Structure formats: structure tokens, C-alpha cells
Amino acid sequence: MLKKWLGRVLAGVVVILLLPALVLLLSPKPALYSQYLQSSAYFAANGDLLSLRLAADQRYRLRLPLADIAPALQQATLLYEDRQFYNHFGVDISAVGRAFWQGVVKGGRRQGASTLSMQLARLRFNLNTSSFSGKLQQLAYALYLERHFSKDEILEAYFNYAPYGGNIEGVAAASLIYFGKEAQRLTLGEALALSVIPQNPNQRSPLSTKGEQQLELARQRLAALWLQYYPSAEPGAAQRLSLPLKFYQRADLAYAAPHFINQLQAQRQVEGRFYTSLQPHLQQRMQQLVTAYLRRNADKGFSNASVLLVKRSTMQVQAWIGSADFYNAAISGQVDGVTALRSPGSALKPFVYALALQQGVIHPQSLLTDLPRRYGSFNPENFDRQFVGPVNATEALINSRNVPAVQLQASLTKPDFYHWLKQAQVPLSYNAEHYGLALVLGGMELSMQQLVQLYAMLGNGGNWQALQWQAEPAAAAPQLLLSAEAAFLTLDMLRQHAKPQAGLLSELTDSTPVAWKTGTSYAFRDAWSIALSGDYVLAVWLGNFDGSSNPNLVGRTAAGPLLFELLALLPRDRQAEQRLFTAGSKLNLKQVALCSRSGELPNKYCPQTRPGWFIPGVSPIKVSDVHRAVPVYTDTGLRACNHQPPQTALKVFEFWPSDIARAYQLSGIVLTPPPAYQHACTGLSPSSQQAPQIRSPQQALTYQLGKTAEQQKIALQASFDGAVTKAHWFIDSRYLGSVTPGETLFWQGEAGEFQLRVVDDLGGVASLRLRVQ
């Protein structure tokens, strides 16, 4: 009688169940993950977790394929939750019957009859299963899932939806939080622990001491059951399963390279897993070294630093230190110094030299003049407030002389420096006139990552490329902004920059070739140092995010030593070093002997030469005429008009352009002039070896007259051949006056447009159009 009654009840349940189930079965295939919000999980290049960020609904949740879940976890979960999973159709009739008999008929303790398919239905469709109708809904949806998905797809979805205590959902997030590892690397003991949590996540969560105790009791019960179903041939398995487990908390989650992760998250809005290019060992060691360096130099007021390391060939970020201490509010530690806009000081100078090399203004040994010079109202000064006179381009760059750099920027055209920086995606908020010639001296702001992208061009054949964040870099088309020849020559010039010497750095500085440059911003607010070594580009910044000044914040002495300490951490790659500093056969470069004094091709009187690079067809290369043979009477030592051996002998003297001769004089270098003529020479037709060059005023500038007579004066200056003794200035057809080489003539300016002309006594002429308002 009882059996008939039970049969009718079960038949009624089946009929009631079939009606909604039939409707669902005829419905289209559902999307298992349509409402599935994932956390953002960032991993280092070696797979270590860097950071796990909450999903939009403030839960930790990551989707994981079934193949990436440890087999032991799958087996333990099926053993504990649903042993007939692969045999039933979503509803385990025998389990339902047992639960109904035990809980309804006998009135005993309620038993669970939910299959994994039913549990997934409840989780996926957010069902309330506390009522009888809710249970029927759950059964119907389980059949619906079974109709459209395979068993493996359902099992995978269950692991991704299952609750594991608190706001932790899915086995991937649970494994990372509780055990600090991926789900495929779980031990058997850890797998058993995770298997029992979803059945009662509130009571068995290891997030509390009581929950961890309840979890351990349930795990030991499952361990006993496991050993019955899977008797292990390995000795000691039972003892190992009885050992307590170490659980981590949410507060223990990795939070490495926070500035890097914050920037990545702001740029990409990552949901799910993101495998970065960051090298955790280098990141950690560099962070430690920065901390130690600042501690050693605390008496100098150094409290904050930023570091960026990039692999040049791929542009992948290897280490990113936004500040010395992310959690230190006293130094505004959460500000990211890698992305913050700061003045670069002299760190931009190499690119003015590179453009000057590319445009044929100079070659590496070209002689420049470091002398006081006026550009309208702008009077550039050097860092040391002194002028060294004549200096070749390489020395001017590595010694960071301001005046030659400004002179070169003024000479750039198509593109000029401003427009070239715009092409390199440097943010310049104002027009070119706003920055003027102070641009090369750091009269603007850019970020460390932008500076590193510029320096990487020097080692990448002049190609600009964006930074890469991923372990597998995305293909990106490079943008050629410098010729490969100009990039290499600039790099070779920077390689000659003397390195700081210290005991710990002696091995690196003696053996590792490094091209590097420093920068110091106005009023000592920022100290920079950037280097290319092997396949790396490394940048270092020291300063204060509030912009406060510190006279010790000098690029070479503050950032330079830290730069080389960090370089010592990098693995040596001698092949990469050789490739970086060797001119490839495809480059249009030639190395020849140049006159050591003039930097030009030697004539037969040049006493000493040295090798130098130039770009055929581009570089301004000519035969030097500085050294000239002068006939001198052997008995009196005075100069003769003509060479008449044996009464005269040829003696070599240096005939420098007047501005360079003046520069030597100002710098304390005494040049031996040729002797005076013994007799007045007639019938000679001297001609200027070098035409005059007007230095002031500038051709491209429009001059504004001041209010006073003194402010209306315009300085007329020119450089003359070394043999010139007098020159004459003209404005249109009017004669203004005469000067000796090195002398300045002042003209009382007037509004209008004029033809300015200077003629020397050897017949050399120079002129320009002058605009005055």
C-alpha cells in the first residue's frame, strides 16, 4: 500500500516537473557566462601572481577551463558532491528518492539530493531553492543545462560558479587566495579542502578560525572516503592527508608592482587573466636596491626615486618602480613617477644632436663654440656658469654643454626639434614659440616612459615604438623618426661618456659598454639618468613629487650612481652589447682620419689625426685649412711675402676663425700667431680661405625695438677667417663701421626690413635679411 502511495507521489512530481522542463527544453541554448563578471588577475612573465583585483560586483572570481583544474580536485568534488555525475541526466532519481524517504516519509535529517547540474542551475540562474517550487525550478533548469551542454562543460561551469566563502567564487580565485597557486598545481590535501567548502561556504570558510576548524573536520571525513575509493600504493599517503594545511587570507594576496598594475588597469580595463612582461626577480631586487640607496643618501635629502627598465628589442617592460614606497604618504608614494610629467633637464640633448647629424649640420667631431650668445632676449648659460670655448660635438654632448645644444637646436629644419618631438608623441601643450630654444634644455615636461621610448630609438635604428606590457608582445609597426646612421652615431657619442667610479661598480664600469646621459631640471627639482646597455634601456629619476628643490638633485651625482648600481643587476649579454655598439654593414657610414684639432679632413700640414665617423653625402666634411705653412726668414724669424729657399723656411701656424680664436683666448689657451712681415707685401692677391659667418643678428628672428636708446641697439657680430685683420659692416648701402675680428659693432636699430652685409679685408662677404619692429 505504501509503495503504491509513494509511486503516485513520485509520478505526480515527475508530471509537475515535466511541464516547465518541457518548456525549457524547447528554449534556445543559454549562455553559461552571460552575467559572469571576472576579477582582473595580473601575472608576471614567470607566471607569479602580481595582483588580483575585485570584479565590478566586488567579488573575487576568475573563469578557468576544466583542463587547468587539478584532476584530484575534480575527482574529490565528484566523490563528495555527485558520484553519479557522468551517469545521470541532471537529476539523480535514486538520490531524490532517498532524500524524500529520509526527510519526508521518515521525518529524519534532511539529505541533499542536488546534483552538480542542479547546483550549477541554482548558481547560474540565481534560483531560490528554499521552497518546494524553487526546487522544482532547479530540477527543470538542470535538465535544461543537460540538454544543451556536455558533462565536461557543466562540470567546468560548476567550478567557475561555486562559492568558496565570503566574496570568493570559483575555484581559480579560491586557489589563488587560499593557497597562493593556480588550481592545476593543488596538492591532494588542498584539493580535498576546496572540495568540501561549496557545500557549506559560510560555515567552512577558512576566512575565520571557526570556519577553518569546521573545514578541517569535513576535509578529514572526505580524506577517509578518498582512501576507500582511491587506495594509494604510495606509502604515507594517509599520514600526509592528516597534516594540517596552511591557508592564506585575502589580505595576503600579492600586490607587487602596484604602479605598474594601476597603469595597466587604467589603460586596458583588463577582465580575467593578463600575463605581463614584468620580471619579478628584477622588480624585487631593484626595489630593494632603490630603498637601500635612498637610505644611504638620506643625509643629502634623497627620499624618493622612480625606475623603468625596458627590453629594447621588444620594448617589453621588465621592471616598473613608480616611487620608493607605494604606501608612504609622506613622499606621496602612490603617485607614479614613471608616468608623471617632469622636466627632463639636459636628458633631451642627444636628440638635438641626432637631428643635427641627420640634417648634415655636424658630424661627431665637428668643432662647436661654447661662448656667450644671444638669441633675441634668450641668453643661454651652462650649468657651471662658465664657457669652455671650442669643443667638439661629442665632448659638448657628453659634458652636457648648454650653449652648443641651443646653437644646434636653432639650426634644425624640416623637422625642427619641436615638431620632431610631436612626431615622437611627446605631449607639448603649447605652440613652438612658447618653448623657443629652451626646449633642448628641458623647458617642457614629459614622462619617464616617454623618455625611455626616445632613448630606445637610438638602439633600434631610429625606430620609435610604444611600450609593450604583455609576456607575448603584440606586433606593432615601428615609426622611423631618425635615420639609422644618426641614431648609431648619437649612441656611439654617448658611449664615450665617462662612468662614475666606485668600488662596487668597478667591474661593471670597466667592462660593460654603456651609452648614458644625465639631466638636471631647473632649480634642482629633478635628477635623471638614462642608459642603454646590451638589450636594455634603464631610466632613473630622483626628486620630490611636490616639486621642491634640493641642490643635491644633480643628474650625474644623484641619479648616475643609482643607475649603475641597477645596471649591475642585469644579466650580461655580450652579443647584444656588440650588436648595439657595432656599425652594421648596411649603414651609410664611413670612418676616416680627421685632424685632431679641427675635426676636419687633414691637409698635409695637420700634425695629428684621429679616427672619426661621418655620413657620406650628408655630413659637413671638408679639408681643414686651419694649419697653413707660412714662409719665414731663417735669419730674422720674420714673415716673408713669398717662399724663397734657402733664405726662408716654411713654418706651420694655426689660422682659426675669429670667433674660435677669441674663444681659445677667453679659455686661457695661448695660440702662437704668425710673425709680422719683414717687408710690406705688394702685388699679392690674398683671398679669404673662409667666408665670414654672421653670428648676430639671427636670420630667422624678428627683432623688437625697446623703449630706451640702449634697448634699441642691435649687436653685429661675425666670425672671420684666421688671416683677416679688419672687416666692414653695411646696412643696405649705408656704411656702419669697421671692426677687428672678435670685436662687436652696435647699430642703433630702426624699424624696417634691411639687407645687412659684412666684408672682410680678404674679400670675403656675408649677408642676411634683417627684420626690425
Mean pLDDT across 698-715: 81
Q: Which residues does residue 533 pair with via DSSP β-bridges, in sequence order?
A: 536
Rg (Cα) of the chain, in Å, rounded? 40
Residue ranges of the chain assigned to CATH 1.10.3810.10:
2-252
Distance CA 419, CA 350 (A): 16
Whose cell is 580524506? That residue is: 223
DSSP labels, 29-46: PPPTTTT-PPPEEEE-TT
201: cell is 561556504
Q: Residue 765: its pLDDT value, please? A: 84
Q: Residue 102: its pLDDT value, please? A: 52
Q: Residue 376: its pLDDT value, please? A: 64
Mean pLDDT across 202-207: 94
Distance CA 555, CA 286 (A): 19
Q: Residue 404: its pLDDT value, please? A: 93
Whose cell is 575565520? That residue is: 208
Q: Report whether pLDDT(344) > 50.
A: yes
Q: Which long-range contacts (CB under 8 A, 24 or more apart) does 731-734 make?
A: 731/755, 731/756, 731/757, 731/770
pLDDT tens readout for residues 418-441? 999 999 999 999 999 999 999 999
Find the range with the poorest average confidence among 395-409, 600-614, 716-730. 716-730
Residue 90 or 577, more confident? 577
Order of strands, sheet of 272-275, starting from the edge strand that comes earlier in the sequence:
49-53, 40-43, 272-275
Distance CA 389, CA 370 (A): 5
Instruction: With cut-offs at 50, 70 and 90, classify the pLDDT of residue 704.
Output: confident
Q: Report whether pLDDT(549) > 90.
A: yes
Distance CA 648, CA 639 (A): 9
Q: Residue 563: its pLDDT value, please? A: 97
Q: Residue 97: its pLDDT value, please? A: 56
Q: Name the average pLDDT for the chain.
A: 88
Q: If DSSP codes are grouped into helix, strand and coil, which group holds residue 369?
A: strand
Q: Which amino acid makes up residue 193?
A: A
pLDDT tens readout for residues 59-109? 999 999 999 999 999 999 999 999 999 999 888 776 665 555 554 445 544
Q: Residue 285: its pLDDT value, please? A: 97
Distance CA 224, CA 238 (A): 8
The CA distances from residue 271 to 159, 283, 348, 747, in Å, are 18, 24, 38, 70
Q: Report whether pLDDT(503) > 80.
A: no
Q: Which long-range contacts (CB under 8 A, 24 or more apart) does 293-301 make?
A: 293/561, 293/562, 293/565, 294/324, 297/558, 300/550, 300/552, 300/558, 301/550, 301/552, 301/553
Q: Residue 687: its pLDDT value, please? A: 43
Q: Which residues does residue 540 pair with via DSSP β-bridges, in sequence order?
A: 307, 529
> Terminal CA-to-CA distance of the chain, rounded, Å?
119
Element (H, E) at 567: helix 560-567
Cα-Cα-Cα-Cα dihedral sign, residues 281, 287, 291, 294: positive
Question: Which CATH superfamily hosts domain 693-772?
Answer: Immunoglobulins (2.60.40.10)
Q: Just give the CATH number of 2-252.
A: 1.10.3810.10
The CA distances from residue 611 to 32, 591, 759, in Å, are 71, 6, 36
pLDDT tens readout for residues 187-197? 999 999 999 99
Whether omega for the bond prior to residue 71 falls within 30 degrees of 0, making it cis, is no
Q: Residue 733: its pLDDT value, please? A: 67
Distance CA 384, CA 370 (A): 12
Query: Is the CB of residue 411 less than 8 Å from the CB of residue 356?
Result: yes
DSSP labels, 598-661: TSSB--TT---EEEEEE-TTTS---B--SEEEEEEETTT-PBPSS--TTTEEEEEEE---HHHH
Q: If DSSP codes are grouped into helix, strand and coil, which group holds residue 586?
A: coil
Distance CA 629, CA 396 (A): 30
113: cell is 539530493
Q: Just give the CATH number of 345-580.
A: 3.40.710.10
Residue ranges of the chain assigned to CATH 2.60.40.10:
693-772
pLDDT tens readout for residues 674-701? 998 888 887 554 444 678 888 888 877 7
Distance CA 218, CA 245 (A): 13
Torsions phi, psi for 169 (to 5 deg) = -130, 145
Report the range out of 244-258, 590-604, 716-730 with the highest average pLDDT. 244-258
Q: Which residues does residue 61 pair with via DSSP β-bridges, in sequence order?
A: 169
Q: Is 609 exposed, middle or buried (0-12, 13-18, 19+ CB in 10 A)?
A: middle
DSSP 471: S
Q: Which amino acid makes up residue 721?
A: D
**3-state SS string over 217-279?**
HHHHHHHHHHHHHCCCCCCCHHHHHHCCCCCCCHHHCCECCHHHHHHHHHHHCCCEEEEECCC
Query: Is the CB of residue 361 less than 8 Å from the CB of residue 408?
Result: yes
Mean pLDDT across 168-181: 97
Distance CA 719, CA 588 (A): 32
Whose cell is 682659426? That residue is: 656
Distance CA 715, CA 733 (A): 19
Q: Tell me what percent of the residues of the chain surpass a pLDDT of 90.
A: 60
Taken as a whole, the chain contains a residue count of 773
Q: Residue 25: its pLDDT value, please? A: 60
Q: Residue 370: its pLDDT value, please? A: 84
Distance CA 309, CA 467 (A): 11
Query: Is the CB of residue 171 less than 8 Å from the CB of residue 193?
Result: no
Q: Report whether pLDDT(504) > 50.
A: no
Distance CA 568, CA 503 (A): 12
Element (H, E) at 174: helix 171-179
Q: Report whether pLDDT(41) > 90.
A: yes
Half-sphere exposure of 580 (CA within 13 A, CB side): 28
DSSP 470: B
Distance CA 569, CA 312 (A): 16
Q: Which residues contact 182 (CB under 8 A, 6 or more apart)?
A: 47, 68, 172, 175, 176
Query: Is the CB of residue 526 less than 8 Å from the CB of residue 520?
Result: yes
